[in-house]
Amino acid sequence: MPELPEVEILARHLRPLLHGKTIRGVSVRRAKVLRPTSQREFQKALTGAKFTDLSRRGKYLLFELRSKTSGKPVTLLGHLGMTGRMFLAKKNESIPKHAAVVFDLGREYFIYEDTRYFGRLTLDLSAIEKLGPEPLDKSFSPEILARELKRSRQAIKVKLLDQSLVVGVGNIYASEALFRARISPKLAANKLTLAQTKKLWRAIRDVLAAAIAGGSTVQLNFTGGKSDGLFYFGRAHGTPDYYEERLRVYDRAGKPCFHCRRPVKRIVQAARSTFYCPHCQISR
């Protein structure tokens, strides 16, 4: 499942490729991914529109376009769900079986593919209205984090996944940030000291910034090959090397901790796996 760094890398990759391109045709193959926008409304708003910008908010992609008919800005919100991919393909390449939406850009296609159709590509922006601060922005301070954590008795690992606390920290980076801050994932959020909160704030930013920096070295440009240029996410498609190397506890149950060499442990919290070192990560 893509987390904030993967979505940021994808946004940076697609931004220059889409900039200034005009949508000549909109083919919707799975209307489910547009919900609640109707297929008719979607096609009407986007046919002839030109891409002007692309940014990220949490795990959402925000495509900015200019409408052909009204000349007004149109925002298209994308989310990759569990298995979504968004990429450009040349016209002579075959369109994948699970393509949900295909934009005809003239010389190439812009394709949103999703084997499980849990993602979204929609004109409805309500999903981003209640999101918390961006972890890498100035609006996310240790003080704000401390204030929010004091209000919660949830285990800190579970609380970190709350998108109203801070956006974009998913299951992988929650475990990684807590390992870096040496805080047990089981500690109640309101039990963190100010010193621990500051360490955690720093760890969240460091782990995400390192992931973005590491991922940005990956080649994403399409070259016409069958799988080249398709940005693979997660393990279902095979994990790129860079991805594995920077994870210190995630998916390393039984393997030696990088600090103390004792085995990393896996537990389940709120139905999700957590990985941590019981020796290095203290629960007080």
SS3 content of the chain, % helix, strand, coil (to 5): 30, 25, 45
Nearest-CA neighbor of 5 among 243, 202, 181? 243
Helix, strand, or coil (residue 103): strand
Which residue lies nearer to Zn ion by CB, 242 or 258?
Answer: 258
Q: Is 59 one of the catalytic residues?
A: yes
In whole angstroms, how close is the CB of 258 to Zn ion at the nearest point? 7
Q: How far is the CB of 248 from Zn ion (least distance, A)?
A: 10
Q: Which residue in this structure is represented by tokens 């209205």?
A: 129
Please identify, using beta-carbon distances, which residue of 62 and 280 lies nearer to Zn ion.
Answer: 280
Size of site (CB under 5 A) for Zn ion: 6
Residues 53-82 that bind Zn ion (CB under 5 A): none
Q: 54 has which bridge partners?
A: 63
Q: Which is nearer to Zn ion, 106 or 256 (CB)?
A: 256
**272 annotated active-site:** yes
- What are the tokens at 232? 């693979």
Residue 282 sits in the site that holds Zn ion (CB under 5 A): no
Interior CA angle at 2 toward 45 and 93, to 5°? 60
Letters for 238-277 (x = contact with Zn ion by CB under 5 A, - = none) are -------------------x-xx----------------x
In terms of C-beta density within 10 A (0-12 exposed, 13-18 middle, 19 or more buried), how is residue 214 classed? middle
Nearest to 207 by CA among 234, 236, 237, 169: 169
CB 1 within 8 A of CB 235: no
Residue closer to Zn ion by CB (options 212, 280) is: 280
Spatial CA neighbour of 197 closest among 152, 131, 242: 152
Site mask, Zn ion, residues 145-164, x = CB under 5 A? --------------------
In the shown chain, the binding pattern of residues 202 to 241 toward Zn ion, with x for contact by CB under 5 A and - for none, equals: ----------------------------------------
Minimum CB separation from Zn ion for residue 211, in Å? 21
Tokens of 31: 């209307």
Is 142 among the catalytic positions?
no
Give the whole-angstrom CA distance, residue 98 versus residue 92.
Answer: 18
The dihedrals phi and psi of 108, each to the nearest 5 degrees, come to: -145, 170
Catalytic site includes residue 72: no
Cα–Cα distance between 30 and 22 in angstroms, integer?
22
- β-partners of residue 265 are 276
Q: Say which of 56, 59, 159, 199 is annotated catalytic.
A: 59
CB-nearest residue to Zn ion: 257
Residue 180 C-beta: closest distance to Zn ion, Å: 12
* Of 15, 96, 279, 283, the one binding Zn ion by CB under 5 A: 279
Catalytic residue among 3, 108, 148, 176: 3
Which of the residues 50, 248, 266, 272 is marked catalytic?
Answer: 272
Which residue number, 10 or 257, has a Cβ lying nearer to Zn ion? Answer: 257
Give catalytic residue positions. Answer: 2-3, 59, 272
**Contact residues: Zn ion, CB under 5 A:** 257, 259-260, 277, 279-280
